[in-house]
Structure 1
Amino acid sequence: MTAIKKYARLEATGLWRDSENFDFIEVLISFGKTSIILSDYKDKPLTHWSLTAIKLVSRDQNEATFSTDSDDGECLLIKDADMIESLLLFINKDEQKSNTTKIKFYICFFILIVSSIALIVYFPSKIKVLTASVISNEIEQQLIEPFVDKHVSSSGGSCSSLEIETIKQRILTLIEKDKQTLSVIIIRDQKMNALHLPNGVILISSAFLNNATNEFKLVALLEQELPSAINRQPLNILINQQTTIELIRFLLGFDTQLHIKEINDFLTPATKPTLKKQNLLDDFSWVTLQNACLN
């Protein structure tokens, strides 16, 4: 507005034509609030041009030609140096404003791209860590109970009795004296030898026990899986099977379960051969455990 006030009383003459089909006529040029007004010599307005629509077509030392955004050939030829200077002032300001707007747009676009990449790369890993941190041992147990019940039911059921549970407890106590991180379920017709699920649940097939000559293979498996259970590695496997959206819904309370999608991810690796140790079980206890599913 300050620039407009500076040139508010500036007037000049020029040659204007309405289109390519008309000849140039001499006009008076003056400033309005947001436009220039072209009038005849009787002060009758012929047209007005918005200051934001004026473009410089050509210029030499003596004159300059301006036009508007329209494509009908309308143009204005001016020889007055002050008027040329004033119009160029507005044109240059608009160009600077346009360039500033473009720069701001590119900066915002760049920030958006960088943020999107950061979210794609950084956010999923962090939300997995966050999910693991909010899952207590009790919640971890609740997460796998539906799967264990369904898996046991579809695999011939579990093999258990008071005597079997006592023998399993003796083995687990020998492996970890202070607390019990692992638990063992013997399943009648499970096709895989052993699965290690979250919350330290080890699912053993009856075939795994029947193919062993003594308890050492079972003990080696449990000793091998104990560090994994302490580090909650099976829980991390379960979390990694979920999508980012599923984890967000779980954290917000919309979903209460994290579903096992690929059971093979929980297969235990083959146990390493171990040196023969002193028997942990008497022959009767081992045979009882080995034949748990025969009853």
Structure 2
Amino acid sequence: MTALSEYERLEASGLWRASPDAQRVDVYVSLGDATLTILDRREQPLTHWSLAAIARANPGKRPALYHPDGDAGETLELGEDASEVIDAIERLRAAVDRARPHPGRLRLVMFLGSLAAVAALATLWLPGALRDHATKVLPQVKREEIGDDLRRHIERVTGPACDTPDGRRALTALADRLPAGDDPGTLDVMRDGVKGAVALPGKTILLDRALVEDYEEPDVLAGYIVEQRLRADVHDPIDALLQHAGTWDSIRLLTTGELTEDVLADYARHLLTRTEEPLPDETLLNGFASWSVRSTPYAYALDVTGESTLGLIEADPFASEAPPPILSDADWLRLQGICGG
């Protein structure tokens, strides 16, 4: 990041808003060699922005208002006392504009911001470290875009998701009951081609219709959702994609913000055919306890004899007491009919 070498480790105060309906928060801003870190007043990191993917909402005005490129809902306001940081960011934005080969694309998504890191990683570090860097700096809006692209390829095999108004409302209620952190994400029931459940980047989970049609209660379906939530926490879906694609595609994502259609199509096929290693019982049981879901129905769905899943059955966190309902009986019946019976 030669354009900003004299600005490394600058710090300033600012006002940060996580979303349009959130309150503004007093924060510290730390400018590094590739990222801008936003910290709370206890100096705990709240988020990281790639320096090469920062957009300005009010050019030439003070206080300066910034947001991640492609996500205007999250904002950072820097006042006159942050003039050095503002000048540094503006120099980088000007450098990105000069270097961008294709007008209209995402601002080379992390190219200048990650150039020094990519060079070091490519020559000195293992491919895993390169994937880790790409995964950490990728904005949420780009994760969702990649998830949508993968879904487009998956639906060429599975067809579109099942959808009825009543079923969609039931799925929304289920997503609210089993959120990914504070985000319910998106749940969809696929008519064919999905085994169990598949998690995509951007907190979307595709579900096998058998999970809603072949069981009398929603506990098995909830178990598969919890398992995919946990798997995404253990192994980031973007990292899993890049591990499958290879080192050069990690570099491509860092420098252009794009993955080729061939890579996406190949990984979509992989998601539909892969056999995943089971998560440790302790991880699963902690997840079932956190989301207040019984583990026994899920265990018997995996192995009808219960022999290979005995740990999930014997240590069920709700063996002696019922957790809050997964869905109302009416919503469960609506969800069971989402694919038309």
Deviation at 1:240, TM superposition (A): 0.7
Does residue 292 (structure 1) correspond to residue 338 (structure 2)? The answer is yes
- Secondary structure (helix, strand or coil) at the match of 1:280 reads coil
**d(CA) in 1 for partners of 2:277 and 2:163?**
22
Task: Tell me if structure 2 keeps the 8 A contact 1:183–1:202.
Answer: yes
**What TM-score comes out, normalization by structure 1 length?**
0.52
Alignment counterpart, residue 139 of structure 1, candidates 133, 137, 142: 142
- 1:100-249 equivalences under 5 Å are 122-176=125-179, 179-230=182-233, 233-249=236-252
- What's the counterpart of residue 59 of structure 2? none
Deviation at 1:294, TM superposition (A): 0.9
Q: Aligned in 2, Cα 1:210/1:253: closer, same or farther, shift over 3 Å?
A: same
**Partner amino acid, structure 1, of 2:218:** E
- What's the counterpart of residue 54 of structure 2? none
Cα deviations by residue, 1:188-219 (Å, 9 ceiling, x for unpaired): 11241211222221111212211121111112
- 1:241-260 equivalences under 5 Å are 241-253=244-256, 255-257=258-260, 259=264, 260=266
Deviation at 1:225, TM superposition (A): 2.5
Task: Tell me if structure 1 keeps the 8 A contact 2:189–2:208.
Answer: yes
**Partner amino acid, structure 2, of 1:283:** D
Number of corresponding residues? 178
Alignment counterpart, residue 326 of structure 2, candidates 265, 280, 283: 280
**d(CA) in 2 for partners of 1:129 and 1:234?**
12
Deviation at 1:124, TM superposition (A): 1.3
- Secondary structure (helix, strand or coil) at the match of 2:252 reads helix
**d(CA) in 1 for partners of 2:245 and 2:202?**
18
> Which consecutive residues of structure 2, in runs of 5 or more, have no partner in the other structure?
1-120, 280-297, 300-312
Question: Bigger shift: 129-138 or 271-280?
Answer: 271-280
- What's the counterpart of residue 72 of structure 2? none
Task: Tell me if structure 2 keeps the 8 A contact 1:157–1:188.
Answer: yes
**d(CA) in 1 for partners of 2:130 and 2:243?**
10
- Secondary structure (helix, strand or coil) at the match of 1:199 reads coil
Task: Tell me if structure 2 keeps the 8 A contact 1:181–1:226.
Answer: no
**d(CA) in 2 for partners of 1:146 and 1:230?**
21
**Partner amino acid, structure 1, of 2:176:** T
Q: Aligned in 2, Cα 1:170/1:120: closer, same or farther, shift over 3 Å?
A: same
**d(CA) in 1 for partners of 2:244 and 2:339?**
32
Structure (1 or 2) with the larger CA radius of gyration: 1
**Partner amino acid, structure 2, of 1:221:** Y
- Secondary structure (helix, strand or coil) at the match of 1:184 reads strand
- What's the counterpart of residue 102 of structure 2? none
**d(CA) in 2 for partners of 1:282 and 1:232?**
32
> Which consecutive residues of structure 1, in runs of 5 or more, have no partner in the other structure?
1-117
Identity of paired residues, percent?
15
- Secondary structure (helix, strand or coil) at the match of 1:293 reads coil
**d(CA) in 2 for partners of 1:224 and 1:177?**
11
**d(CA) in 1 for partners of 2:135 and 2:333?**
40
Q: Aligned in 2, Cα 1:157/1:267: closer, same or farther, shift over 3 Å?
A: farther
Cα deviations by residue, 1:95-121 (Å, 9 ceiling, x for unpaired): xxxxxxxxxxxxxxxxxxxxxxx9677
Cα deviations by residue, 1:32-64 (Å, 9 ceiling, x for unpaired): xxxxxxxxxxxxxxxxxxxxxxxxxxxxxxxxx
Deviation at 1:144, TM superposition (A): 2.1
- Secondary structure (helix, strand or coil) at the match of 1:144 reads helix
**d(CA) in 2 for partners of 1:194 and 1:243?**
24
**What TM-score comes out, normalization by structure 2 length?**
0.46
- Secondary structure (helix, strand or coil) at the match of 1:204 reads strand
Deviation at 1:134, TM superposition (A): 2.1
**d(CA) in 2 for partners of 1:182 and 1:283?**
23
**d(CA) in 2 for partners of 1:191 and 1:180?**
23
**d(CA) in 2 for partners of 1:267 and 1:197?**
14
Q: Aligned in 2, Cα 1:266/1:132: closer, same or farther, shift over 3 Å?
A: farther
Question: Bigger shift: 243-252 or 273-282?
Answer: 273-282
**d(CA) in 2 for partners of 1:288 and 1:191?**
21
